[in-house]
Amino acid sequence: MNIADFVQGIATLAWLVVVGLIVMAVVRASRNRPTRHLTGLILGALAAAAVLTLVAAGLVFVQPEERGVVISPYDPQGYRSKALAPGLHWIIPGEVVRLYSISRQTYTMSAATGEGDVYGDDSIRARTKDGQEVYIDASVIFAINPEQVVQLHIDWQDRYQQELVRPLARGIIRDMASQYGVEEIVSTKRAELEEKITNELGAKLAANDLLLIDFVLRDIHFSEEYAVAVEQKQIAEQQALQAQFVVEQKKQEAEQARQVAQGLADAAVIQAEGAAKARIIEAEAEAEALRLIAAVLADNPELLQYQYITKLAPDVKVILMPNGSQFILPPELVAP
């Protein structure tokens, strides 16, 4: 309770005392009892009650989150040009103070029943650049400019929410939404849209003695027809992505099989080349061996006969020779 309310309470109590004294005086008079001493008390209480009432009528306490606009019949323009700041003030009896809160206020427009300031679906219906209809939920957080409270009272009084904030916000949201396509609004350009609305709405509110604290783009939803179309498009895109994935998988499998086959072919070629080289080396070795044998035989012709006999021995006991054939013996078996 502030001091103005306290004084008003004392004044009310004083009037009750006056009424009580008057009743007592009437009762005593009806019983033919003296009332002279009550008359003085009544006059004193009446004077005190009048003074307290006069004082209470002139005292105004303004809370820290408030500003007071003084409506004055004694001022030529009908009001004081400066609002009352927080604290205790004295006004002339006959003047009236209208208190305005300068705390932050939120005005919400939403499709959800009971969520916004207006009961029912209060979302903003807007049409995008490509002709699609969207429904936007938004909140405007604002406050009265403390330096312009008097002018706000003159222009709007307490109608500023419904007759200023609401129509300004809805109109600006519709105008800004019409500059974007529906896919831009819900994805790539949503932040840009919110920023443009904030700048435009802030300027408009400032011109009408209000301060925009923040603008919140709460939600964007579509008509049922467009929502179905979007869902079908998403399904088609997912199917296309799945098909593309399958194609890529088959390509990878084919590439893997090709690389395996190429590896086998390369291995076969390498193996064949190795075998060929080995055969060449073997043939060259055989040729060289024959060349050396031929050279040795050329220098030692009897060596051939020796090798022949060696191959026949030692298991051969009897040799049948054709008539007229030369009998060959190894040199060491021939008697000197």
| Domain layout of the chain by residue ranges | 3-100, 105-222, 248-313
Q: Which of 114-128, 192-206, 218-232, 303-317 has the lowest mean pLDDT?
A: 303-317
* % of the chain surpassing 70 pLDDT: 80
- Region 141-163: mean pLDDT is 95
In sequence order, what E strands does 20-123 have? 59-62, 66-71, 87-90, 96-101, 105-109
Confidence of residue 148 (pLDDT cuts 50, 70, 90): very high
Query: What is d(CA 336, CA 333) in angstroms, rounded to the nearest whole number?
Result: 9
Comparing 20 with 126, the larger pLDDT belongs to 126
Query: What is d(CA 47, CA 315) in angstroms, rounded to the nearest whole number?
Result: 169
pLDDT at residue 329 is higher than 60: no
Terminus-to-terminus CA distance in the chain, angstroms? 160
* % of the chain surpassing 90 pLDDT: 36
Looking at residue 314, what is its pLDDT?
Answer: 61
Looking at residue 172, what is its pLDDT?
Answer: 97
- At 140, list the tokens: 């405007």
User: What number of other Cβ atoms are within 10 A of residue 132's Cβ?
Assistant: 18
Q: How many residues does the chain have?
A: 336
Looking at residue 53, what is its pLDDT?
Answer: 73
Comparing 85 with 11, the larger pLDDT belongs to 85
- Region 131-140: mean pLDDT is 92
Looking at residue 33, what is its pLDDT?
Answer: 73
- Closest C-alpha among 67, 77, 86 to residue 144: 67
User: What number of other Cβ atoms are within 10 A of residue 7's Cβ?
Assistant: 18
160-219 pLDDT tens trace: 999 999 999 999 999 999 999 988 888 889 999 999 999 999 999 999 999 999 999 999
> What is the DSSP annotation of 21-42?
HHHHHHHHHHTT---HHHHHHH
Query: Domain 105-222 maps to which CATH number in 3.30.479.30, 2.40.30.10, 3.40.228.10, 2.30.42.10?
Result: 3.30.479.30
Position of tokens 């021995």? 313
pLDDT at residue 231 is higher than 60: no
pLDDT at residue 307 is higher than 80: no
User: What number of other Cβ atoms are within 10 A of residue 249's Cβ?
Assistant: 10
Q: Which of 7-21, 212-226, 237-251, 302-316 has the lowest mean pLDDT?
A: 302-316
Could you tell me the CA-to-CA distances from 46 to 12, 16, 21, 40, 51 in Å, in that order? 11, 10, 10, 10, 9
pTM for the model stands at: 0.59
Q: Which of 37-51, 62-76, 85-99, 214-228 has the lowest mean pLDDT?
A: 37-51
- Region 146-166: mean pLDDT is 95
Looking at residue 230, what is its pLDDT?
Answer: 62
- 32-66: buried (b, 16+ CB within 10 Å) or exposed (e) per residue? eeebeebeebbeebbebbeebbebbbbbbbbeeeb
